[in-house]
Copies of this chain bind each other. A is one copy, B any other.
Amino acid sequence: MKILDLFNLTEQQQTKLAGLGDVQVIEPQDLNDNNSKEIDAIYGWDAHAEEVLTASPKLKFIQSNSAGVDYMPLSEFQKKGIILANVSGIHAEPISETVIAYVLSFARGIVTTAAARPDKRWVGDQVRMQNYTLKNRTAVIFGTGHIGEAIAEKLQFFGTRTVGVSRHGNPVAHFDEVVTDDQGTDRAAKADFVINIMPLTPATKHFFNKEFFDEMINHPVFINVGRGPSVDTQALIDALDQYKLAGAGLDVFESEPLEKSSPLWEMDNVILTPHISGGFQEYGAEAFDILYKNLASFIQTGEVAVNKVDLSAGY
């Protein structure tokens, strides 16, 4: 079986895959008209994968190296009977830590005082007693999967009340309460922090729009570590300008890289990071563990062991 490697497997990792039996790793630079027809599996996704998807009738398993798979042609996978697995789970720790970094940067006056730094203004007396701690604050988290749960666990540790929002509203560990989508806006309106970690689907596109932000009577800090297009960017900018939101922590954007013309770059009450919240030094090793488990299972049974994507739901 031939697997196309689009995520830079190390030599050691390749050796380990070879131990599964008749596994041949093809690197993208070695892809040609002959072997592209014979690819059984792909690790990762880029233009080479699109080629192979067209060329190889044998392609039956794709292991993505991301949690979200909205950038892949899912309906085509469905038509061709291709099994897709993601690496959902490994992002929970890094992303939840980034969320806590955002939240505390707002709570502890780091964002406010950073705005005075270019002018070297010492604003201690103005800011000191405006600061707050996370105790008895409320966070509403849209999305109660692995990552949402990890965020909730950390916020609960700091004494913050956690409200989850999901399609089903079923209880999830580390949430004081979980409500359904239709109650989410109401809970968010009264919260201190509103955090998005929903996958991008037709149902979540522009979920955070003018109507949503208009409801935010408690001026929460809005955090997006989910997907950029879940947010109507112009509505977000307006909400920040009009102090419907106290601030925003944004790792993802409707178009990436964020265009240089975006006002977000220059807004004092916004923390920006360039879609890095899921990254960490051990990412390659942890993603490989999932690939290895799934490839082993796929070879033996034709099914993956973990993290199979529901191609209709999109995650």
Q: Which residues of A contact B (CB under 8 A)?
A: 93-94, 97-98, 100-102, 104-105, 107-110, 113-114, 117, 120, 122-124, 127-135, 154, 157-158, 256-258, 260, 265, 271-281, 283-284
Contact = CB atoms under 8 A, between A and B. Distances in A.
A203 to B, nearest CB: 27
Given A100-B100, A122-B258, A258-B122, A108 B274 contact: no
Contact of A120 (B93, B105, B260, B273): B260
Q: Taking the full assembly, how many copies of this chain does it contain?
A: 2
A193 to B, nearest CB: 14
Given A93-B135, A113-B273, 13 more contacts: A94-B108, A94-B131, A97-B108, A97-B134, A98-B108, A108-B276, A110-B271, A114-B114, A120-B265, A127-B279, A129-B280, A132-B280, A133-B280
Nearest to A100: B104
Contacts of A276: 108-109, 113, 124, 127-128, 131
Contacts of A108: 94, 97-98, 101, 273, 276-277
B107 A105 contact: no
